[in-house]
Amino acid sequence: MGAIAAVLSVQAQQTFTLKGRINGRESGILKLRYTQPDGRFIQDSTTVTAGKFEFKGTITEPVMAYISGDVKKPSMDDPNFGTLFLAPGDLKLVLTEGQFKTLKLSGSKPHDEYTLLEQKKAPIAEEIKPILTQLQKASEAYVQAKKENRPDAEQDLLREKAAEIRDQLEPFNAKRDKIDLDFISRNPDSYYAAYMLSYKISGLKLAEAQKYYKAFSPSVKASSYGKKMLKEVQNLQSGSPGSAAMIFAKKDINGQDLNLADFKGKKYVLIDFWASWCVPCRKGNPHLLSLYSKYKDKGLEIVGVADDDSALAAWKRAVEQDKIGVWKHVLRGLKRTPTGFDRSEDISEGYGIHSLPTKILIDKNGMIVGRFGGGGDSDEEMDKKLASIFK
């Protein structure tokens, strides 16, 4: 049996017992939710008796879990909703009614790491509270306008206002990312580090993502988080310079057939991953129009891939409003199902796209020669690249 197989074999037999007490409550129900590495969603419940409770279960590795008390529906903002990192073995949990965010769990190393990092980032969380309050109000105003079907121009202004407030969070997000990535680099045998990196890879450049992944221990790489990391790295690589562009064929916005392979040997193609609701995407369209006008006769084609599969009217309206119907447009192909999503025809998945806007530049040989946006270079670098190609 190989090392990885041996690790998985041991993990498959591990159980946990979560015993605890809750201050401020003598009875009632507590719910515990988590997802197994094989994708199965587990929802367990137990009765509180004289302020004490107990959960038992089987997990193959440490997993992020959520515990809730008297809540109408699970919500991260609810005071009776908390986050913990389960691990095999005997665990002790102390809760306080109305203060689940301050829960104390012992017996789980990943949870200790999670708590330590949250404490390090706490000052940043305090700094951004006023911004988050503004953002919530702005977002609620936009949602309300959408529900009331107010004029498109009014909805657009409200959406842009929310986006401007959200942009204020970027410097603080960068500070938190620095703390997280420093922890990840120092803890190659940490399940919590692997858990975090699996969500951060999409914002890293390929070389950085590969460096972090390669540093992890064999046992972590064999975990579900390690496998998720590897998949994210592979997707990012498939959409980065040096890789052959994934070929796709779709019906375009006008119902005509579009096949990426048809451009091979003829044109450079800039794939613009965007959405009608993405404010930075829409604000960047005038610049894209200027580039298209400048280089279309020299061999450049643009294909817009929109994340609007469930909002066809908004997609078509955005194309018309921004006057970008001069180039090709298709939908990404993400299908919603009763159990989640069908990604079998998802163009974005094949290019490792997780943030918008992101642009992929493909040469006449069908090879990716530029990535700009999520996990790539800046728009300024894109301009330089195009200028050097079509000089």
pLDDT at 4: 41
pLDDT at 12: 61
Spell 219-248 as b/e; 16+ CB within 10 A means b.
bbbbbbbbebbeebbebbbbbbbebebbeb
271 HSE (CA, 13 A, CB side) = 32
pLDDT at 288: 97
pLDDT (mean) for 47-63: 95
CATH of 3-107, one of 3.40.50.10950, 2.60.40.4150, 3.40.630.30, 2.60.40.1480: 2.60.40.4150
Indicate the fold that domain 249-389 takes in CATH.
Answer: Glutaredoxin (3.40.30)
The C-alpha R_g of the chain, in whole angstroms, comes to: 24
pLDDT at 341: 84
Bridge partners of 329, per DSSP, are 304
pLDDT beyond 50 at 43:
yes
pLDDT (mean) for 308-320: 95
CA distances from 59 to 7, 37, 39, 296 (A): 13, 8, 12, 56
pLDDT (mean) for 268-285: 96
pLDDT (mean) for 273-285: 96
Q: Assess whether the region 3-107 and the region 249-389 belong to the same CATH fold.
A: no
Q: Which of 1-15, 101-115, 149-163, 372-386 has the lowest mean pLDDT?
A: 1-15
pLDDT beyond 60 at 10:
no
pLDDT at 340: 75
pLDDT beyond 50 at 8:
no
Q: How far apart are the first and last CA of the chain?
A: 58
DSSP string, 205-272: -HHHHHHHHHHS-HHHHTSHHHHHHHHHHHHHHHTSTTSBPPP-EEE-TTS-EEEGGGGTTT-EEEEE
Tell me what the pLDDT averaged over the chain comes to. 92
Strand 63-68 and strand 81-86: pairing? antiparallel
Q: Which of 90-94, 122-126, 202-206 has the lowest mean pLDDT?
A: 202-206
pTM: 0.85
DSSP string, 92-131: EEEEETT-GGG-EEES-HHHHHHHHHHHHHHHHHHHHHHH
pLDDT (mean) for 30-57: 93
Domain ranges (residues) in the chain: 3-107, 113-238, 249-389
pLDDT per position as a tens digit, 212-265: 999 999 999 999 899 989 999 999 999 999 999 999 999 999 999 999 999 999
Query: Predicted confidence band at 268 (pLDDT cuts at 50, 70, 90)?
Result: very high
pLDDT beyond 80 at 25:
yes
Q: Reduced to 3 states, what is the DSSP secondary structure of residue 159?
A: helix
pLDDT at 3: 42
pLDDT at 1: 36
Query: Predicted confidence band at 37 (pLDDT cuts at 50, 70, 90)?
Result: confident
pLDDT at 344: 87
Q: 241-244, long-range: CB within 8 Å, 24+ apart, which pairs?
A: 241/368, 241/369, 241/370, 241/371, 242/367, 242/368, 243/367, 243/368, 244/366, 244/367, 244/368
pLDDT at 51: 96
pLDDT beyond 90 at 105:
yes
Q: Reduced to 3 states, what is the DSSP secondary structure of residue 153?
A: helix
CA–CA distance, 338 with 138 (Å, rounded to integer): 31
Which is more confident, 378 or 39?
Answer: 378
pLDDT per position as a tens digit, 168-219: 999 999 999 999 999 999 999 999 999 999 888 878 999 999 999 999 999 9
Paired tokens of 140: 């609620």
Whose CA is closest to 378, among 359, 350, 351, 354? 359
